[in-house]
Structure 1
Amino acid sequence: MEPSSELIQELRTKFFQKLENDGAPDPGGFHPADLARAKNSDDWLRRFLMHHECNVNEALQMLWECVEWRKKFGTNEITENNIRMDYVNEGSLFVHNRDKDGSNLLIFKSKKHVKGQKDMDELKRVVVYWFERLERLDNGKPISLFFDMSDTGMSNMDMEFIKYLIGLFSQYYPYFLSYIIIFDMPWILNAAFKIIKTWLPAKAVQKIKFLNKTTLKEYVEPDQALRCWGGNDDYVFTFVPEQLALPVDRADDSRKKVHFADGSPMTESFPGGFSEGQLSKDSSQSGNSSLSIVPPDVINFANQGAELTGTISLTNTAETIISYKIKTTSPEKFRVRPSTGTLAPGRSVSINVVLQPGYQLPALSRDKFLIMSLPVESQDMTPQEVTDLWKQTNGKTLEQHRLRCSVGGATGDGQLRNGTAFISQPHLDTDKQIAQILSQVRQLNENHQSLHADLRRTQTLQWLSMFLIAMVGFVIIYTTGDSDPNADKSSCLLP
């Protein structure tokens, strides 16, 4: 059902009314690019309505959650310059050619992906890069997700990654899925894809197509199919940078990301700007810091109720009032409260850092925090005044201190948790069920092979037994036939 212009305008009005009444969940608000899109793009809002069959309330909820996720994930900032290009260049996920309906094919070559070998957070950023690039390419026209399962084994079957791929369509990219094509799937993975079907609504399950070299031509023309699929295309993946029609303004990126990895300059660019020469040395190295920071080097994250949380304590050891600001290399990952403020001499503040839901723990050790401070004249500054202060740092001397991250907490069952949702028990149960099913499939396969070998041995023994029986019968017949050679002669003498 095609949404009317009245429904589109109703969705737009309700979204901005909700934003005015409730405000954005993030103190920084939604991303300006997404707000502009909601205000000006009928095509984008139409997709939310079509995704929910013109139910305005359901479309509004999805739109709100989508815009919130995009801000937290940093979707609008993802480019070829800040994703793992080594993941891209290996060619496990790429875009090439179209299906019979004209939808772009997002191809996942499963045999090139080995579960657990990549950082899942970085892999998710690569996936979102391709989704965003495809949206720009065809203005949001639906795409087909093509799973090339040729030569796939158990080690290539990453259920978490597949669930994330499918979840993007159902949660954040409305009306963007044409087909899910499963090509040349080994029978041993049937159980896994039965589980995958449960992650999809009923209408989406109908989009799954299990194809082989014979049936692929029903959905992909031979000229659009790779040679390894039985088609005519000799294409070998090589990454081609995206050609944007208009330059993307990244002027504000420096305010959203802090780049202070080990060995890099401890600088940050604000509109007013300040150079490395205007910064004091790292307070961890200078002996005259105005801030006492606990812990001094590493934020240790541990379980606190339903969250994975770290704590930073700041104490003003100077004789003047200071203002502080905390930045992180991954602002989409963490909730920092309070991230800015003022401290009178001798006063302290405790800052909570919470890992957001959906982010993986192994990558946490690479994240860093930067604590900056500068002297101010008054302690009674409003939050807006503090924000404006940190926008105008030109010519001011700042102190800074770098902190790394580590994980020290675990659940009762030894599983580290992840963000406010941690790794929820249903998710753990699902993973356990998947592992059990795959283990049972492997056992069934081994039992099948064992039974097949036993059957071959039994057949061999049967043939051998029949041969021996035949030989024994032949010997018996031969010996009994020659046991009384005079029997026929004596019978002839009878009258």
Structure 2
Amino acid sequence: MCCSINMDASDPILLGKVRDKFCNDYKSNASLYDECDLHRLMANDWYVKRFLMAQQLDVDNTVVMIREALRWRKAFGVNDRKDCDFPLEFYKTGAVFAYCPDREGRDVIYLRVKLYRHFPKFSDYFRQYFLHIINKIDVQNEEKGWAMVWDMSGTGPSNWNLSIVRFIISCLRNYYPRGMRYLVIYGVPWIMTAFVNIGLKLVSEEARNVVKFAAKDQIFGFVEAENVPDFLGGKCVQNYHEVPKEAVRDCHDLAAERGINADETDAVLKFYEHYLTD
């Protein structure tokens, strides 16, 4: 059902229709949802607006999108995870982290692609960790949105995994619409150009419009030098390797809990040993 041409995503009538239709599904399938997400949907207008905007204000399609997103959140356990659930090495490497705001006051998530290597037994936990960071920043910034920087400098084919790229794209498109305001892809080596182009073909033209490319000092057009981490030539001294106080488990603890053998765990720690030195 499409709305009147005079309405926008903030219209109370539209918001009410979406909530009413969703509640009908919730009553029949309550076990598929997390009550925290239901409360947020009912109390936070932005959480409804973002899906309405993604569906061009079509109420029925918006309800379907919200239904799928909230069911995914329950199945993936988004609300169940805390900082302490992840091994301290995940933080120490500084491979993925939230950092200081950009020029518009939006928090920025950095992904150092050269620090990614596909370790099959740990792949699911990396996805959970990455989504944990995105979810925290998304909740904190709400309608203001947030940004992401993929640092591609020093990368090669071994750092690229299409399944992870598909996972990130799917999550941002289907479960966090209108959250990321832009993505800066920084320092793409010539050998990785084809891989990046493949990734861009997986997204819509609208999504490609929020992708920006930067090299060297061009990053400062998005984020002031005082807020950019040192590996991108910035002057910020905030520690992006900091481990939350409550995070005390390490990769060996995780491996023991999940039945991952010591050789596989040692391979991960060997790859990151340079970044794990206290």
- Say whether the fold is shared (TM-score over 0.5): yes
Q: Distance in 1 between matches of 2:172 and 2:228?
A: 24
Confirm or deny: 8 A CA contact 1:135 1:141 kept in the other structure. no
1:42 aligns with 2:49: no
- Counterpart of 1:109? 112
Greater CA drift, 118-127 or 233-242:
233-242
- Counterpart of 1:450? none
Distance 1:67 1:211, change over 3 A: same
TM-score normalised by structure 1 residue count: 0.46
Q: Distance in 2 between matches of 1:263 and 1:120?
A: 16
Q: What SS does the corresponding residue of 1:81 show, helix, strand or coil? A: helix
Q: Distance in 2 between matches of 1:89 and 1:136?
A: 24
Q: Write the deviation string for residues 418-456 of structure 1: whole angstroms up to 9, x where unpaired.
A: xxxxxxxxxxxxxxxxxxxxxxxxxxxxxxxxxxxxxxx
Q: What SS does the corresponding residue of 1:214 show, helix, strand or coil? A: helix
Q: What SS does the corresponding residue of 1:102 show, helix, strand or coil? A: coil
Deviation at 1:148, TM superposition (A): 0.6
1:228 aligns with 2:235: no
Deviation at 1:86, TM superposition (A): 2.1
- Partner amino acid, structure 2, of 1:13: D
1:56 aligns with 2:59: yes
Q: What SS does the corresponding residue of 2:188 show, helix, strand or coil? A: coil
Confirm or deny: 8 A CA contact 1:84 1:126 kept in the other structure. no
Q: Write the deviation string for residues 108-135 of structure 1: whole angstroms up to 9, x where unpaired.
A: 0111112236611111110121022112
1:141 aligns with 2:148: no
Pick from 181, 186, 190 the counterpart of residue 183 of structure 1.
Answer: 186
**Unpaired stretches in structure 1, ≥5 consecutive residues:** 244-260, 265-362, 367-495
Confirm or deny: 8 A CA contact 2:91 2:243 kept in the other structure. no
Q: What SS does the corresponding residue of 2:100 show, helix, strand or coil? A: strand
- Counterpart of 2:13? 6
- Partner amino acid, structure 2, of 1:110: V
Pick from 195, 200, 218 the counterpart of residue 198 of structure 2.
Answer: 195
- Counterpart of 2:269? none
- Partner amino acid, structure 2, of 1:88: Y
- Counterpart of 1:123? 126
Q: Distance in 2 between matches of 1:174 and 1:218?
A: 25
TM-score normalised by structure 2 residue count: 0.80
- Counterpart of 1:239? 242
Q: Distance in 2 between matches of 1:29 and 1:161?
A: 25
Pick from 58, 73, 79 the counterpart of residue 82 of structure 2.
Answer: 79
Deviation at 1:236, TM superposition (A): 4.1
Q: Write the deviation string for residues 367-407 of structure 1: whole angstroms up to 9, x where unpaired.
A: xxxxxxxxxxxxxxxxxxxxxxxxxxxxxxxxxxxxxxxxx
**Unpaired stretches in structure 2, ≥5 consecutive residues:** 1-7, 247-253, 261-278
Confirm or deny: 8 A CA contact 1:2 1:50 kept in the other structure. yes
Distance 1:49 1:197, change over 3 A: same
Q: Distance in 1 between matches of 2:132 and 2:98?
A: 11
Q: What SS does the corresponding residue of 2:110 show, helix, strand or coil? A: strand
Confirm or deny: 8 A CA contact 2:84 2:244 kept in the other structure. no
Q: What SS does the corresponding residue of 2:25 show, helix, strand or coil? A: helix
Confirm or deny: 8 A CA contact 2:185 2:214 kept in the other structure. yes
Q: What SS does the corresponding residue of 1:98 show, helix, strand or coil? A: coil
Distance 1:262 1:181, change over 3 A: closer
Q: Distance in 1 between matches of 2:212 and 2:128?
A: 27
1:90 aligns with 2:97: no
Q: Distance in 2 between matches of 1:144 and 1:80?
A: 21
Q: Write the deviation string for residues 146-181 of structure 1: whole angstroms up to 9, x where unpaired.
A: 101111122112222222222211011121011111
- Counterpart of 1:462? none
Deviation at 1:136, TM superposition (A): 3.1
- Partner amino acid, structure 2, of 1:51: A
Q: Distance in 1 between matches of 2:245 and 2:10?
A: 32
Q: What SS does the corresponding residue of 1:215 show, helix, strand or coil? A: helix
Q: Distance in 1 between matches of 2:195 and 2:90?
A: 25
Q: Percent identity?
A: 23
Q: Distance in 2 between matches of 1:13 and 1:31?
A: 17
Distance 1:242 1:133, change over 3 A: farther
Distance 1:242 1:32, change over 3 A: farther
Confirm or deny: 8 A CA contact 1:88 1:126 kept in the other structure. no
Q: What SS does the corresponding residue of 1:174 show, helix, strand or coil? A: coil
Confirm or deny: 8 A CA contact 2:110 2:150 kept in the other structure. yes
Distance 1:112 1:18, change over 3 A: same
Q: Distance in 2 between matches of 1:89 and 1:227?
A: 16
Deviation at 1:79, TM superposition (A): 0.6
Deviation at 1:105, TM superposition (A): 0.9
Equivalences for 1:463-482 in 2 at 5 Å? none
Higher strand content, 1 or 2: 1
Q: Write the deviation string for residues 451-483 of structure 1: whole angstroms up to 9, x where unpaired.
A: xxxxxxxxxxxxxxxxxxxxxxxxxxxxxxxxx
Which gives a bigger RCO, structure 1 or 2 (Cα 8 Å, sep 6+)?
A: 2
Higher helix content, 1 or 2: 2
Greater C-alpha Rg: 1
1:16 aligns with 2:23: yes
**Number of residue pairs matched?**
246
Confirm or deny: 8 A CA contact 1:3 1:49 kept in the other structure. no
Confirm or deny: 8 A CA contact 1:49 1:55 kept in the other structure. yes
